[in-house]
Structure 1
Amino acid sequence: MNLRRLKYFVKIVDIGSLTQAAEVLHIAQPALSQQVATLEGELDQQLLIRTKRGVTPTEAGKILYTHARTILRQCEQAQLAVNSIGQTLRGQVAIGLAPGTSTSSLTMPLLQAVRNELPEVQVYLHENSGSVLNDKLLKGQLDMAVLYERSPLAGITSQPLLKEDLWLVGTCDCPGQSVDLLAVSEMNLLLPCDYSAVRARVDEAFSLRRLTAKIIGEIDSISTLTAAIASGMGVTVLPESAARSLCQAANGWMARIATPSMHLPLALNMSARGGLSPQAQAVKEILLSLVSRPSLENRELQLVS
């Protein structure tokens, strides 16, 4: 295998068409098909399934695609690391953010700090579910992802950042500064779908107390959830930073769930298969320095010991 064939193969899978990939790569389609055939011969495996609608990878092709992206990314990072010696860091750093993460406490300070300290570095933010973000990390499409800590995942390293308390948010009949889970069980709840870290923690708490949650709707969209809470339809449970943002937008109230107290650990995930580029490593260091600053601790975000 050589890097050029791997690059061709990745581009074909990304586009899903030999014809279109040939146009993007500025290579004749027969020549591109021959490169794929050579790669298949070297591996003694069929890598692509050709149909009238385009091409899709076989199981062997999917495995090669994942490794090829990692290999190509590592080669790019190696070149950047060598070229950046004694030079200003530049380039793009891709960061994933799971919905409900403490974006209000971390994202804006991070963007401002990167702009001040690394003016030639561009930060790309991608918001998606934790499972999708981890998949993109494994495929080399993201440098790092901030999400609520989950079970260990093969190929992913996870570094604890913060832990956030869960708060109840609503607009009608404020229960006070804190609320018991028993009282929450009597309210109409609007919660994320059951695959989210927030929902898993809420379900676990209700189960341990042998209570039944009165869930009247499942909403993943923050804008839709904000509108529903603002209408007085029900209440929701969110980590503090997300709760503060929704509370302000909906002109509502917040109450800490105190009995039992509940929190979610926030983590920084990265692929274990390859190191970070110089610019990504620099952004990571800025992020970790922001987490340790008192300004974040004062927002009720507690450092994970």
Structure 2
Amino acid sequence: MNLRRLKYFVKIVDIGSLTQAAEVLHIAQPALSQQVATLENELDQQLLIRTKRGVTPTEAGKILYAHARTILRQCEQAQMAVINAGQTLNGQVSIGLAPGTAASSLTMPLLQTVREEYPEILVYLHENSGSSLNEKVMNGQLDMAVLYDRTPLAGITSTPLMKEDLYLVGASDAPGTTVDLAEVAQMNLFLPRDYSAVRKRVDEAFSLRRLSARIIGEIESLATLTAAVSSGMGATVLPESAARALVSATNGWMARINSPSLNLPLSLNISSRLPLSPSAQAVKNILLTLLNKPAQEQRELMLVG
């Protein structure tokens, strides 16, 4: 194996098409196919399945893809470390954020601090669901991710940051500052899909109390959720930081869920196999500093965000 073939293989899998990959790589398709054939001969395994719709990796191909991304990432970091030895930190640092987390309100302070301390570092922010973020961290597409994470995951190192209480948020008929879970069960709810951390925690709580949620819509987009709650058709359940932002946007209300009280742990996840570059480590330190500010300062940052 050599690095060039690994780069070709990763690009083919990412795009899902030999023809399109050949165009992106500026190489003739027969030559690219030959590179794949050579790689398959070296490993004595079929790596790609060719269909009319494109190509997909075999089980052996999926294993090679994961290792290849790690190898290429480490080579890139080694090159950057050598180039940057004794110089100002630079390059891109990619951070994943689960929508609605406390970290979402820190994006502007983070960008501002990095700009002031490391002007040559470019921060890339990517919002997506928690499961998708962890996958991208493990395969090297993201340096780190901030998300609600309740279960340990192989290949991921999690740093606990804080726990956020869950709140019921609505725009009409406010129940008070707190609300019993049994009352929540009587309301029309807009919730995310069942793979989100918030939804899993809510479903678990309802199940333990032998209650059923009256879900009238499953919404991922915060903009759509804001419009839905503003309409008065139903309420939603969110961590405190996201709840405050939604209340501000809708002029609505929020009530902490009790009996039982519900919360979610916020974590900073990095790959346990891929070392952070010096630039990524510097940005991680800034993010941790911002997230570990006293509660009052966090609330002020959330209001500014």
Tell me if both proteins adopt one fold, taking TM over 0.5 as the criterion: yes
Quote how far apart the aligned CAs of 1:283 are: 0.7
Task: Map 1:114-263 onto structure 2 (within 5 A).
Answer: 114-263=114-263
Residues 296 and 269 from structure 1, CA distance in 2 versus in 1: closer, same or farther, beyond 3 angstroms?
farther
* Whole-Å separation in 1 of the counterparts to 2:138 and 2:76: 16
Q: Does the 8 Å CA contact 2:150/2:264 hold for their aligned counterparts?
A: no
**Where does residue 283 of structure 1 map in the other structure?**
283
* Whole-Å separation in 2 of the counterparts to 1:261 and 1:126: 31
Quote how far apart the aligned CAs of 1:80 are: 0.9
TM-score by length of 2: 0.92
Percent identity over the alignment is: 78
Residue 91, structure 1, aligned to residue 54, structure 2: no
* Whole-Å separation in 1 of the counterparts to 2:194 and 2:27: 47
Partner of 2:22, secondary structure, is helix
* Whole-Å separation in 2 of the counterparts to 1:209 and 1:267: 27
Structure 1: runs of 5 or more not aligned: none
1:132-155 superposed Cα distances (whole Å, 9 cap, x missing partner): 111111221111111101311111
TM-score by length of 1: 0.92
RMSD over aligned Cα, in angstroms? 2.0
In structure 1, give the amino acid aligned to 2:244.
R
**Where does residue 21 of structure 2 map in the other structure?**
21
* Whole-Å separation in 1 of the counterparts to 2:11 and 2:194: 35
**Where does residue 264 of structure 1 map in the other structure?**
264
User: Where do 4+ consecutive residues of structure 1 move more than 4 Å?
Assistant: 295-298
Quote how far apart the aligned CAs of 1:297 are: 5.8
Q: Does the 8 Å CA contact 1:159/1:269 hold for their aligned counterparts?
A: yes
Larger displacement relative to structure 2 (108-117 or 60-69): 108-117
Residues 176 and 51 from structure 1, CA distance in 2 versus in 1: closer, same or farther, beyond 3 angstroms?
closer
Quote how far apart the aligned CAs of 1:73 are: 0.3
Q: Does the 8 Å CA contact 1:188/1:215 hold for their aligned counterparts?
A: yes
Quote how far apart the aligned CAs of 1:198 are: 0.7
Task: Map 1:35-54 onto structure 2 (within 5 A).
Answer: 35-54=35-54
**Where does residue 5 of structure 1 map in the other structure?**
5
Structure 2: runs of 5 or more not aligned: none
Residues 238 and 37 from structure 1, CA distance in 2 versus in 1: closer, same or farther, beyond 3 angstroms?
same
Residues 62 and 259 from structure 1, CA distance in 2 versus in 1: closer, same or farther, beyond 3 angstroms?
same
Quote how far apart the aligned CAs of 1:35 are: 1.9
Partner of 1:37, secondary structure, is helix
**Where does residue 70 of structure 1 map in the other structure?**
70
